[in-house]
Structure 1
Amino acid sequence: MPEDGAAVDGRAAAGWEGVVEAFARGQATDPGAAQLTVHHRGRVVVDAWTTGRPDGGRTHGPDSVGVLMSVTKGLVAVCVHLLSERGQLDPDAPVARYWPEYAVRGKEGTTVADLLTHSAGLPSFTASPADAATVDLLDREECAARLAASRPLWRPGTAALYHSLTFGHLAGEIVRRITGSTVGEFFAAEIAAPLGLSLWIGLPPDEEHRFVPQHSPAPSRTDDAITALLAALGLSRDEPLALALMASTTELTRFTDALGTRAGRAAEVPAAGGIGDARSLSRLYAAVIGHVDGVRLLSPLTVERACAPRTDRLPPPAPLVRPADADPSRFGLGFELPRRGLPMLGEGSFGHAGAGGRLGMAHPRSGLAVGYTCTEMSWTGTGPDPRWVPWTRAIHEAAGTARGG
């Protein structure tokens, strides 16, 4: 174990030892626990984790699993692209081709791509914070029905704004309409089982003993702080978009609280409810870009299409104003792309981050795939997580040496 870092255990292939040392440095001041796994051209080259009892309860180790938050969106994106590869789904087709009830109240022309790029105009299940208390966020059918009946806040495809929770039910319902299985069931049967992944959208009861909870050190925003934030975005509190954004925040807070319960972990909430470990995240992304033990999920052409930038030229929805120093999210079809606050593995990489600092990603050209999980929700999204910086640099150095050799 490195002397200048956290209590880290694990292994590394020859030439990759520096990544484990860098992981320890990144975790040195983190009171929580974490895991890091790296694949290079389908082979595990780093598998490391911090040890201990971060919450005073269950011991964290290599087989622990935890909440993934929005990393789950990447799992859903893989499901969608697998159906596309099989010829069962066209991302540029109208949603109504697969989900007829959706084609009402201005959503008739919405495409599947609009859902995957956060440009569907439905950032919340409800229209106001008061309404947000009325939705059962653990009821998949209710959430999907609310979205089908809703009117978008902007013309779909003309603007983009992050759909924190609704993304999963929008894309997940497409999967269900095509396959007859929920997106959690489809992921389990078609992706997790062939690869032997400890990744779930809906944690099975017999895996509960592996679960280690998360902790958020950030205080809840005050009413005045929310008003100031909206004003900085050019919104007053009584505008429909402002009300929807506040509703989305309320919904996400309610769901995050629910993850502290067995019912919340068992529910299929496919935008943020995934649970798993770093080994499985890395293995998943490795199988997206190459072969892992004989399994490859997507062809190079599908990956290229999925990761082509789709939102770089889309403005935020009016009347929201993007600050001059903003670092807007960038999306392909369901996957996040690198930006200043989320550099990933550099240009050409893709994946998805999750609230607090979780991260799953791949870089096809270099053959790298990475999974990182953590229990301390300290990443704010306004810059790279300090915990990531040491080991991402070390990965680049090790991969460069491997290519040179």
Structure 2
Amino acid sequence: MTVDIGVNRRADPSHGAPDAGHGVFGAADSHFACVVRAFSTMFPGRRFGGGALAVYLDGQPVVDVWKGWADRDGEVPWSADSAPMVFSATKGMAATVIHRLADRGLIDYEAPVAEYWHEFGANGKSEMTVRDVMRHQAGLSGLRGATQEDLLNHVVMEERLAAAPPGRHLGKPAYHALTFGWLMSGLARAVTGKDMRVLFREELAEPLGTDGIHLGRPPANAPTRATQIVMPQDIAANPVLTSAVRKIAHQFSGGYRSMYFPGVIGSVQGDTPMLDAEIPAANGVVTARALARMYGALANGGEIDGTRFLSRRLVAGLTGERMRQRDRNLVLPLNFHLGYHSLPFGNVMPGFGHIGLGGSIGWNDPDTGVGFALVHNRLLTPLVLTDHAASVGLFKLVREAVAKARKRGYRPVHGLGAPYSEPDAVAG
């Protein structure tokens, strides 16, 4: 049966909000009550932001809940269509676009990228394969002096990467924190002639039947609403300290060099200028429901709600051998394989997906048929470490609930959140 768990199905914030931020909205199968209760503790008050949790089992939604506040001041309640920027969890979506193209025979993982994106063959990259790039082995993780203006122009960044020589980490796993997205979009554009923003809708949102997947800020007339980032909004950097930290970090940290650019803090403050760019490694705006739906398809042999999203053959290859070497930028081995990663913690969180800065995550475990997503709008807060760890604890509870649900039967939950519709056909 379905349990309401303090749950209110009203999706429109104008219809009311959880009392004092302590109630949970949405619905869940009763076997997942412990999962929902654990999720509810993440958002104890107005200043703690909000978020959503969704779980798919065997291609069917069994948890779809949300709680908290979509703005920094705790005045706008989270709704069924609230969507935060999920930072690096965007990479999993960008990779899935490539897999959709590969599934139709438009891309071969073993072919050189330059076979499709001819400019990419410059400066010794003519033999670099699609698989090499998707495993973060391209040696192109550094931003190489790119300005904020450059990074907010995806065409410029694609052109810079196509012309660049690979660095010293060529052939070794080195997390491409931002450049991964433009490598994916440059490849996809060469094959389709379309921006990744368009492909997020055509290859993800539309076939999944959801409005909840966008690259960057959703259109003004879309039902999906981008949430504000909850983080220190008044960071005033000491110029001397900032300069010293930057020099030290650039000297010793490849990870820092792969993420830092002038104005990086300002790009996620205020009205979040980063939302108005195409950064397919970082600025995906997505509901938990939509992200879990995508991973639910991967966990279910490529099928969701009776619709074929990816072929069973291609999905089987996504669980292949992963890189287990130490990542040169992150130190830990994240075991990348075709754009997704697993965790180096044994059986604590089996499966694969992608986590983002702040702790938003999309994940799936093909062995149990589970697709999972946790998204929220907290970033640089005192809870940042807790937020990153929360997904591991919640996923453990999900696995326990799944075992019970399989024994006793479960009821899917449907009807929450906006379905896919063409941008010009969405009511304002």
Same fold? TM cut 0.5: yes
Question: Alpha-carbon deviation of 1:380?
Answer: 9.0
**Which one of 289, 301, 304 corresponds to residue 279 of structure 1?**
289
Summarize deviations over 1:315-368 as a string: whole Å, max 9, x none: 555xx8x8xxx533221110111223xx89733x11111100100111112111
Q: Structure 1 length as normaliser, TM-score?
A: 0.83
What SS does the corresponding residue of 1:49 show, helix, strand or coil?
strand
**Which one of 190, 207, 216 corresponds to residue 194 of structure 1?**
207
What SS does the corresponding residue of 1:371 show, helix, strand or coil?
strand
Summarize deviations over 1:230-270 as a string: whole Å, max 9, x none: 7xxxxx45xxxx5x655433238628715754753232211
**Are residues 1:402 and 2:421 paired?**
no
Question: Alpha-carbon deviation of 1:206?
Answer: 2.1
Q: Which residue of 1 aligns with 2:154?
A: 140
What's the C-alpha RMSD, in Å, of the aligned pairs?
3.1
In 2 relative to 1, CA 394–364 (structure 1 residues): closer, same or farther, beyond 3 Å? Answer: same
| Cα separation, 2, equivalents of 1:302 and 1:383 | 35
Question: Alpha-carbon deviation of 1:40?
Answer: 0.8
Question: Alpha-carbon deviation of 1:196?
Answer: 2.2
Q: Structure 2 length as normaliser, TM-score?
A: 0.79
Stretch moving more, 51-60 or 134-143: 51-60
Q: Which residue of 1 aligns with 2:15?
A: none
Query: Alignment identity in percent?
Result: 30
Q: Which residue of 2 aligns with 1:233?
A: none
Instruction: Report if aligned partners of 2:147, 2:262 keep a CA contact under 8 Å in 1.
Output: no
Q: Which residue of 2 aligns with 1:44?
A: 61
**Are residues 1:364 and 2:380 paired?**
no
Q: Which residue of 2 aligns with 1:301?
A: 313
In 2 relative to 1, CA 71–252 (structure 1 residues): closer, same or farther, beyond 3 Å? Answer: farther
Q: Which residue of 2 aligns with 1:71?
A: 89
Stretch moving more, 288-297 or 94-103: 288-297
| Cα separation, 2, equivalents of 1:268 and 1:253 | 17
Instruction: Identify unmatched segments of 5+ residues in structure 1.
Output: 231-235
Summarize deviations over 1:104-132 as a string: whole Å, max 9, x none: 21212211111111111111332xxxx33
In 2 relative to 1, CA 371–265 (structure 1 residues): closer, same or farther, beyond 3 Å? Answer: same
What SS does the corresponding residue of 1:207 show, helix, strand or coil?
coil
Summarize deviations over 1:158-203 as a string: whole Å, max 9, x none: x111111110110111111111212221221132112222101132
Stretch moving more, 214-223 or 115-124: 214-223
Question: Alpha-carbon deviation of 1:272?
Answer: 0.5
Instruction: Identify unmatched segments of 5+ residues in structure 2.
Output: 7-18, 409-428
Alignment of 1:2-401 (within 5 A): 6-28=22-44, 31-52=48-69, 54-56=71-73, 57-126=75-144, 131-133=145-147, 135-154=149-168, 156-157=170-171, 159-197=172-210, 198-202=212-216, 203-207=218-222, 210-217=225-232, 222=242, 236=251, 246-251=256-261, 254=264, 257=267, 260-261=270-271, 264-290=274-300, 291-313=303-325, 315-316=326-327, 326-340=331-345, 346-347=349-350, 349-377=351-379, 378=381, 385-401=388-404
**How many aligned residue pairs are there?**
379
What SS does the corresponding residue of 1:385 show, helix, strand or coil?
helix
Counterpart amino acid of residue 21 in structure 1: R
In 2 relative to 1, CA 216–262 (structure 1 residues): closer, same or farther, beyond 3 Å? Answer: closer
| Cα separation, 1, equivalents of 2:336 and 2:205 | 24
In 2 relative to 1, CA 316–8 (structure 1 residues): closer, same or farther, beyond 3 Å? Answer: closer
Instruction: Report if aligned partners of 2:70, 2:377 keep a CA contact under 8 Å in 1.
Output: no
Question: Alpha-carbon deviation of 1:59?
Answer: 2.6
Instruction: Report if aligned partners of 2:150, 2:157 keep a CA contact under 8 Å in 1.
Output: yes
What SS does the corresponding residue of 2:30 show, helix, strand or coil?
coil
| Cα separation, 2, equivalents of 1:229 and 1:262 | 25
Summarize deviations over 1:284-307 as a string: whole Å, max 9, x none: 111233332222222333123223
What SS does the corresponding residue of 1:200 show, helix, strand or coil?
strand
Instruction: Report if aligned partners of 1:36, 1:48 keep a CA contact under 8 Å in 2.
Output: yes
Instruction: Report if aligned partners of 2:207, 2:309 keep a CA contact under 8 Å in 1.
Output: no
Counterpart amino acid of residue 213 in structure 1: Q
Instruction: Report if aligned partners of 1:344, 1:361 keep a CA contact under 8 Å in 2.
Output: no
